[in-house]
Amino acid sequence: MSLRAKLEYHAAQIRKLTITAIESAGYGHIGGSMSICDALAVLYCDIMKIDPLYPDKPDRDRLVMSKGHCGPALYATLAYKKYFPESLLTQLNRNGTSLPSHCDRLKTKGIDISTGSLGQGYSLAAGVAYGCRLKGYDNTCYCIVGDGELQEGQNWEAAQFVAHHNLSNLTLIVDNNKRQLDGYVQDICKQFDLAAKLKAFGLEVFEADGHDVLEIREALLAAKSSNKPNAVILDTQKGYGCCFSEIEGFNHYMVVTKEMADKARAEIDRRLQTP
Amino acid sequence: MKNMLVDNFAIDQVEMRQAYCDALIDVARQNPYVLDIEADVQYSMGTKRFKEIFPERSINCGIMEAHAVGFCGGLSAMGYIPFFHAFGVFATRRAFDQVFLALAYQDMNVKIIGGDAGVTATTNGGTHMPFEDMGLMRLVPDMTVIEPADSAMYPYAVHYMANTYGNFYLRSCRRKVMKIYGDNVQFTIGRANTLTQGGDIAIIACGIMVYEALKAREILLKQGIEARVIDMHTVKPLDVECVKTAAMECGAIVTAENHNVKGGLGEAVCAGLAQEYPVPVELVGVNDMFGQVGDQSYLMKVYGLTAENIAEKAIRCLRRKTK
């Protein structure tokens, strides 16, 4: 099996598990979860230095899902990597669950930082990366933000800080899926030239097709070997890879029935077998 | 009762910011994980010396309090103990969501030092004068809120915070204040200090208002009223037992704070009393107003924070008690 086929297989499994989690809850943040599945597959199945059997290993790589509402995709990834049983995914948002809609480090094994209030994750990740550097760890901290989320000003405080302190062990990953809750970013508050903005703030910027696993991998490896603070912009599509969310105009969150989920999972398998 | 007070009240020899910096240097020597995080007020808040001694452990974020608080959260996740230092208004009001979610919600271990408490912001005026910081921080679950009265209490609080896991808000001022405590006084966070005996009325105060309360006691003594003065240095968790005992033994209470009466010490005391042992209470504090420029003595008069104001409210409270 080629590396591409392997990573695409992992991504397909993570997508299906994400759909299962949201289906179990009845509704959820499907759009942004789908757009980040390929990156999560590459990160957790290839790039990141992690050990699910030793999840608290001090010098492990870390990931801050700043777009915390996409917890379901991260939970699916963690379950796929055996941080906890896949069956737990059906408990998403249940009363008393360990899998709440937004990532919670106190509740879920494998979650490094709690998130949900958009715009805060990059600062937390900067603290984690700074702490890793102080401790002399040879590791990387990843922070995933949405393009809509970058409207929050705190991201730009953090970017300036990260660049000034040369936190080259921190990679900002932008899930540039062009949409936010109320519609297209372009219509609500346009971002202008995102790469140029990040560069102007002092970051080295890499770009990739966010649904091409090898391109994602190449960009993340380039970022990892960079000696500068950096960002990877992933060109993604909100809802991608799930047949009902990729055609839906409003897919930030959706009601997901068993029938829809069955169809979507079958379609994911079909596409995987059809190069 | 052991006398905790100095023999003669006088302005302290030590600035509050110096007491803080000395204490922070002490705890940093003892604990390699203690860090000093700044947002461009290192000069004003007096922590330059820390940076000289521990250049690698003093990180100035620049003028970005929201980021600085989040950054502290990340450092805490890595096992560090950040002391974040900013003017009270910006440390709390500007970065409230960050304090709430990046620190408290995820059980971090960060100590927030809010400077220039209330009227001590003097000529920086209304934009810089925190009358709401304790109220905001009281609303954050599991946040401990402390306001030391003088430079003797301050180092104790700093050591306690460094050695106790959890998020803390300590409000203070930067300049010299009246020295209240004598040497070798022991403090317990969460336990108020009863500074004087007295069974007619209790005055419960914090911060610079402790000295005003002691002065008010002298005024009241001339009228034959003996007031018990309590330093409620820990505003949250409130020492409800101490408040209840004061209510049972004195039957009337005045609270005194350099803060809005809404959300501050007065309301905390009232809530505790209402559930335990209701007695008449009068609240001395800022009555739902914004700050303004002025020197401290002028502002204390404007907002009704003087010893005379406390004595006046005490007499009013006593009238209600005897009804």
Mean pLDDT along residues A30-51: 98
By Cβ distance, the residue of A126, A153, A160 closest to B74 is A126
- Look up the CATH number of domain B193-322: 3.40.50.920
Q: How far lies B291's CA from each of B84, B210, B258, in Å? A: 24, 21, 11
Q: Measured between CA atoms, how close is A46 to chain B, in angstroms? A: 24
Q: How many Å apart are CA B88 and CA B65, to the nearest integer? A: 11
pLDDT at B257: 98
By Cβ distance, the residue of B72, B78, B105 closest to A114 is B105
End-to-end alpha carbon distance in chain A: 13
B contacts of A165 (beta carbons < 8 Å) = 59
Average pLDDT, chain B: 97
By Cβ distance, the residue of A124, A135, A165 closest to B70 is A124
Q: How many CA atoms lie within 13 A of B71 on its CB side?
A: 31
- Local confidence band at B289 (pLDDT 50, 70, 90 cut-offs): very high
- pLDDT tens figures, B11-50: 999 999 999 999 999 999 999 999 999 999 998 889 999 9
Instruction: Please give the order of strands across the beta sheet that includes A62-65.
Output: A62-65, A141-146, A170-176, A230-235, A204-209
| Cis amide leading into B237 (omega within 30) | yes
B193-322 matches B16-171 in CATH topology: yes
CB contact under 8 A, B77 and A112: yes
CB contact under 8 A, A125 and B74: yes
- pLDDT tens figures, B189-206: 999 999 999 999 999 999
B contacts of A164 (beta carbons < 8 Å) = 62
Average pLDDT, chain A: 97
Q: How many Å apart are CA A53 and CA A16, to the nearest integer? A: 23
Mean pLDDT along residues A184-194: 97
- Local confidence band at A275 (pLDDT 50, 70, 90 cut-offs): low
| Overall residue count recorded for chain B in this entry | 323
Mean pLDDT along residues B63-70: 98
The DSSP H or E segment spanning B268 is helix B265-276
Mean pLDDT along residues A8-14: 98
The CATH homologous superfamily of the domain defined by B16-171: Thiamin diphosphate (ThDP)-binding fold, Pyr/PP domains (3.40.50.970)
Delimit the domains of chain B by residue range: 16-171, 193-322
pLDDT at B323: 59
A contacts of B80 (beta carbons < 8 Å) = 131, 134
Here the CATH number for the domain that contains residue A72 is: 3.40.50.970
- Mutation target for A interface from B36, B75, B78: give the one with most A CBs within 10 A: B78
pLDDT at B184: 85
pLDDT above 70 for A188: yes
Catalytic residue among B65, B147, B212, B282: B65
CB contact under 8 A, A123 and B71: yes
CB contact under 8 A, A113 and B106: yes
pLDDT at B183: 83
A contacts of B73 (beta carbons < 8 Å) = 113, 123-124, 127
Residues of A with CB under 8 A from a CB of B: 104-106, 112-114, 116-117, 120, 122-132, 134-135, 153-154, 157-158, 160-161, 164-165
pLDDT at B125: 97
> How many structural domains does chain A have?
1
The DSSP H or E segment spanning B269 is helix B265-276
End-to-end alpha carbon distance in chain B: 31
CB A235 within 8 A of CB A176: yes
Q: Which residue in A237, A87, A231, A245 sits closest to A172, CA to CA?
A: A231
Q: Closest residue of A to B97, CA-based?
A: A117
Q: What is the 3-state secondary structure (H, E, C) of chain A?
A: CCHHHHHHHHHHHHHHHHHHHHHHHCEECHHHHHHHHHHHHHHHHHHCCCCCCCCCCCCCCEEEECCHHHHHHHHHHHHHCCCCCHHHHHHCCCCCCCCCCCCCCCCCCCCCCCCCCCCCHHHHHHHHHHHHHHHCCCCCEEEEEECCHHHCCHHHHHHHHHHHCCCCCEEEEEEECCEECCEEHHHHCCCCCHHHHHHHCCCEEEEEECCCHHHHHHHHHHHHHCCCCEEEEEECCCCCCCCCCCCCCCCCCEECCHHHHHHHHHHHHHHHHCC
Which domain does A137 fall in, by range?
A: 3-273
pLDDT at B45: 86
By Cβ distance, the residue of A104, A132, A161 closest to B78 is A132
B65 is catalytic: yes
Those residues with Cβ within 8 angstroms of residue B261's Cβ, 6 or more apart along the chain or in another chain: B255, B267, B283, B284, B285, B286, B287, B288
Interface confidence, given as ipTM, is 0.97
Q: How many CA atoms lie within 13 A of A73 on its CB side?
A: 34
Could you tell me whether strands B168-171 and B111-115 are parallel, antiparallel, or unpaired per DSSP bridges? parallel
pTM: 0.97
B contacts of A133 (beta carbons < 8 Å) = none
For chain A, what percent of residues have pLDDT higher than 90? 99
pLDDT at B270: 98
